[in-house]
Structure 1
């Protein structure tokens, strides 16, 4: 009897959580097909979450008419995917050195890396802006000063990530070190051990870092707003500001938000099993 009551309670809690997180998404998607007058008219009832009334694709076509959405979306994909790929390589190599290689001070180095997590990005934004504006940049023809208004300034500052290093470190630390010793007996160096022994076993950690790196890269708003001026390099999140100018169209905003949410959901669905396995294994270890 107690087990059945507990099961009902857990099920009810899951339903409540699903509604809390799912209803805003449902409202966003449903509202993207409605005109503004109907969106506000349906707010007082259940109709706000139902695809009823005057439904059309006008908001979606309006998105492409109002802003260069295809360019914004391409920019976000380039920035996010490049940040994820470089982040996995850089952070996994750093974590491998801290976890597997015997060198003095590695625990202190890990502590310093983790200490950077307490510093909010807003504190570093202005100093970082000054720094990237002093760096040389090759624009294809000659070297100029400053990275502003480029893909580089939106990618490089976010490749190294303390939390990603910590996740890789935790996962690498759980892999038996006897594998390293066996590989070194066969003549393998540290890079070969990293590439052929450790990384093939780190699939769940890679999936977790990929998701946790992609989300902030895709949702980045403040930094691109500070460092980009041309539409050629602006990501999708900054593009939503175009709908707040002059006459605000809430239906188009909902359509815009629905489209840019799809890649995030697709990534999570693709890596969901590995992500859950990684969290579960780290929880069991702890």
Structure 2
């Protein structure tokens, strides 16, 4: 008697090459991270001795936490980490609010010139940051700021060596506006009309309808805003001289002064990489969903 074929088994076999390919690619891209993590526990001599063999990716030999202790002895690593966390978190929070409100006005409200304005916003994406970095340094050094001097409110000039100079210039982001705009376009406009007929304001529509439905877009913007702020190096190097205000990336240059310790460099790199990986793993599903539903729309 003939045995009926199992379609599930055939489908599973066809998936094996794809699964193997993904595993190989994952291992390929994970090798630098694994090497960095393992090397952070080894002294310099052990790192160079293990190069060229599989031992470079294994916790063998003289393994200890000496490099991590050396990091905190060499630089104020915890201060740098806290600065980057504050700068990145505040920029992400303000960026989500500002960019989503701009995108809401461009995608849901009807007013003349909105398409031209959106085009101009998108056009700014082709301008590299390095071309206007120096003029922006001059401008932020001339900008006023209100602050208390004892019991009096005074106006000061210049934003250099402050947290605000590392945050406010990067709150508004053209790509975030575009991403929110594309996602908002996928939400039925009938929801707006129904809410407006019930007496809701435009801000009420934005806060109670649009934003609660835009979780994937919010997660994506959060990741895409957090990454460049966390990895920021050139701008803080130009505008921040106070060591107590510097972010983590500036701390890397401390390890190339005088005696270079590659083990400590690997330990410090591990410390500043783990938060980025944790953030992506926490929001990867929302990130993929947002890109799939809004990023490919024209």
Q: Which residue is equivalent to 2:5?
A: none
Q: Which residue of 2 aligns with 1:236?
A: 248
Deviations 1:107-158 (A, max 9, x none): 1111000000000111111111111111013454243211111000000111
Other structure's SS at 1:144 match: strand
Which residue of 2 is the match for residue 121 of structure 1?
A: 129
3-state SS in 2 of match to 1:232: helix
Query: Match for residue 189 of structure 1?
Result: 201
1:70 is displaced (CA, Å) by: 1.1
Note the residue ranges of structure 2 that are not aligned, 5 or more in a row. Answer: 1-8
Aligned residues: 286
Task: From the superposition, tell whether residues 111 and 202 of structure 1 become closer, same or farther in structure 2 (CA, over 3 Å).
Answer: same
Cα 1:244–1:139 change in 2 (3 A) is farther
Matched with 1:68 is 76
Name the CA distance, whole Å, in 1 between partners of 2:292 and 2:186: 13
Larger mean CA deviation between 267-276 and 98-107 belongs to 267-276
The structure with the larger Rg is 2
- Of 109, 112, 125, 1:104 maps to 112
Give a deviation string over 1:159-185, Cα, whole Å, max 9, x none.
000110011000000000000000000
Given the alignment of the two structures, is residue 279 of structure 1 paired with residue 287 of structure 2, yes or no? Answer: no
> Could you tell me how far apart the structure 2 residues matched to 1:140 and 1:96 are?
36
- Check conservation: 2:182, 2:297, Cα contact below 8 A: no
The runs of at least 4 consecutive aligned structure 1 residues that moved more than 4 Å come to 1-6, 283-286
SS at match of 2:208: helix
Identify the residue that residue 26 of structure 1 maps to in structure 2.
34
How far residue 285 of structure 1 moved from its aligned partner, in angstroms, is 5.2
Match in the other structure for 1:248 = 260
Q: Structure 1: 5+ residue runs without aligned partners?
A: none
SS in 1 for 2:244: coil
Provide Cα deviations, 1:12-61, integer angstroms capped at 9, x if missing partner. 32123212210100000000000001111111111111111000000001
* Residue among 213, 216, 222 paired with 1:204: 216
Is 1:136 paired with 2:144?
yes
CA-atom RMSD, angstroms? 1.6
- Residue in 2 that maps onto 1:225: 237
Q: Which range is displaced more, 266-275 or 230-239?
A: 266-275
TM-score, normalised by the number of residues in structure 2: 0.92
Q: Which residue of 2 aligns with 1:146?
A: 158
Deviation at 1:6, TM superposition (A): 5.3
Distance 1:68 1:193, change over 3 A: same
Deviation at 1:252, TM superposition (A): 0.4
Find out whether 1:157 has 2:169 as its counterpart: yes
